[in-house]
Structure 1
Amino acid sequence: MTRTALVVRGGWDGHHPVEATELFLPFLRSSGFDVTVEEDPQVYADADRMAGVDLVVQSVTMSEASQEAIRGLRDAVAAGTGLAGWHGGIADSFRASSDYLQLVGGQFATHPSKHPDEVHGDQSDNYLRYTVEISELGRSHDIMAGIDDFELTTEQYWVLHDDLNDVLATTTHPVQPYHPWHRPITSPAVWTRDWGQGRVFVSTPGHSLDVLQDDNVRTIIERGMLWAAR
């Protein structure tokens, strides 16, 4: 039986929404999905179309969406449509919508930078070596099966989040003398979320194409999409 996947992409070009989503289209098709791509989140407001979507893969950093679009997405997920994404394409979308934030369960707050003496004024200022630590729940979850703690050099997301998330992996921001916080801060790095009859999957690693092609990150995202789908 063929399922339907809707890929919605756009927003800030720095996350390469076209190239990033293109990495996963062959996997979706080989997994039995009929894939369509839209460049505008207003598609979420089309209730008839959304009723036939089994999985939404969203890569829209920042940007804006209408109240009708957000309501349509929330209604679709509550009715069983899966929602999946990575990094800013899902965890830093539609900042003005509290309804969207509640649906996804986590909002990017910052990505701490290197020592002031090491910054150059480009994206690499925020590329830190950090560990993605699999949680106790994650070790028993299909998405994380066989994956151990692993390291990345990329943006380390500090995420505002709530307790409805099932956290499969975390990352901890250390105390540094050049930052104003005074104890280590642990943020979710991979989480799932049940919403009505639907499922939400988020991976915060995924800033750039090379990170998305990391074996661990790619495997987690591929499995996360399948897990979220109706």
Structure 2
Amino acid sequence: MVFYYSPNVLSWSMSKEHFYLSGKGSFLTYTGKLYEGDWYKGFRHGYGTLSHRLDNGKLSIDYRGNWVRGKPEGIGWRYYANGDVYFGFWKSGKKEGYGKLWYSDGTFYVGYWSKDQKCGLGMFIQVNGNRYEGNWEDNLKHGLGRFYHMNTGQLQEGCWVRDLCVTSKMVDIIIRQCCDQPTEYPIPEEQLRNSVNILEESDFWVRQKSGSIDNKLKYCLDQMF
């Protein structure tokens, strides 16, 4: 139920015994939700801002950006009640495609989404600076990726399954000596016999996407960020 609207170039139209709002204007509901922007046949459609009223009477923005038939779609900003902030693409009211999410706890994700879930290539940075770059599925690290242990100065490259690394290699990174807790000595040379053959014969590894982690994945990630 709406108790107030402010027409700028807002107009009413009637179709099949129903009234529709079209044009630009403001709409305030009895629950304290305020929409300011474009309308089409009674739907938030075009560009607009949705806010809610706080206990002190002031308004706080929930979303600003593009709308399609009443739901965020296209590019927009979303401000969550817990302090998280998202900027990127939307579809039918859910994060879809490329976007960035600043979490209230100080972590950060940039990459691709599908139906509000991290999915595809993306990078997640932890509060301590450690970061994962690689493939995601259902909000979890899944597939080829690399994890920078910035606190110890090591780079881990390999395969993840449902957030768990199942096979990887570890190398020292150039800035190891400048890290907070660098490894005391460089990582020793690998001593496992026939390690290459073991990796090549791994059914799991063979099922992963083809290409070199160092080259193809690096190129995709560097182009995206």
TM tier relative to shorter chain:
under 0.3
Q: More helix per residue: 1 or 2?
A: 1
Structure with max Cα Rg: 2
TM-score (norm 2): 0.25
TM-score (norm 1): 0.25
Q: More strand per residue: 1 or 2?
A: 2
- Greater relative CO (CA pairs within 8 A, separation 6+): 1
